Amino acid sequence: MNLASSNEKRPHKLKDDLRSVAQKAILASAEKVFAEQGLRATVETVAKRAGVAVGTLYNYFADREALLVALLEDRSSEIARRLDHALDVAGKKPFAVQLTAYFNAVLEHFDEHRAFLSIVMQCENEQALREKKSTTKRTLRTLSTHAERLVAFGVKSGALDHDDADLHATIVLGLIRGVVHRHLQNQKSGPLAPLAPRLTRFFLAGAGK
């Protein structure tokens, strides 16, 4: 065993760990600042919220645009990992259980990153921010891809009607958009995740008595 080599690696690992912590702190602060002040908020404001020098922020992100894109990409990757895990855990269970797991994973993510919702909506409405719009579309594609895979299982297992298979994923996403939109309109609304079983019931049974 080469103890010298092992000791040499420790400072590098510590440095990488500190860098990761700093990046996460900056991204968390950027999420809040962009949500509160809009996409044109300054990096100075983000740095102050994160408790770091502006120069330190620039060591990690070239400019405000790079910071915002990094934030969107980070949150998009996070929700993909969350969905993969939720559906893997529920993989051998009935469709209704899997659908509830899907809804719960998405809504839990939005509960933890409520400011992210506001940023996504701002990016969708900001015509000039093409790169950021493409990143938010990736988030929507993530939700759509997992929904399509899930409802395909629902059709195959007989839980869903084959004749309307082309509409199932669209309706699942529509339910999420609906509750998220309501949340953004009413900032005093409670957490979204508890709505997951109700969304599953509504999807499978409709609004009738």
82 or 186, higher pLDDT:
82
Q: Span 1-61: which CATH code? A: 1.10.10.60
Cα–Cα distance list, 90 to 25, 39, 102, 106 (Å)? 32, 37, 9, 15
Provide the CATH topology of domain 67-209.
Answer: Tetracycline Repressor; domain 2 (1.10.357)
Mean per-residue pLDDT of the chain: 85
Q: What is the rounded average pLDDT of the residues 172-200?
A: 88
Cα separation, 12 vs 18, in Å, equals: 10
Q: How confident is the model at residue 22 (pLDDT cuts 50, 70, 90)?
A: confident
Cα–Cα distance list, 147 to 92, 121, 139, 144, 180 (Å)? 16, 21, 12, 5, 17
Give pLDDT, residue 128.
Answer: 47
Cα separation, 194 vs 47, in Å, equals: 34
Cα separation, 49 vs 33, in Å, equals: 8
What residue segments make up the domains of the chain, in order of their start? 1-61, 67-209
176 or 12, higher pLDDT:
176
Q: How confident is the model at residue 16 (pLDDT cuts 50, 70, 90)?
A: low
Q: Is the pTM of this model over 0.85?
A: no
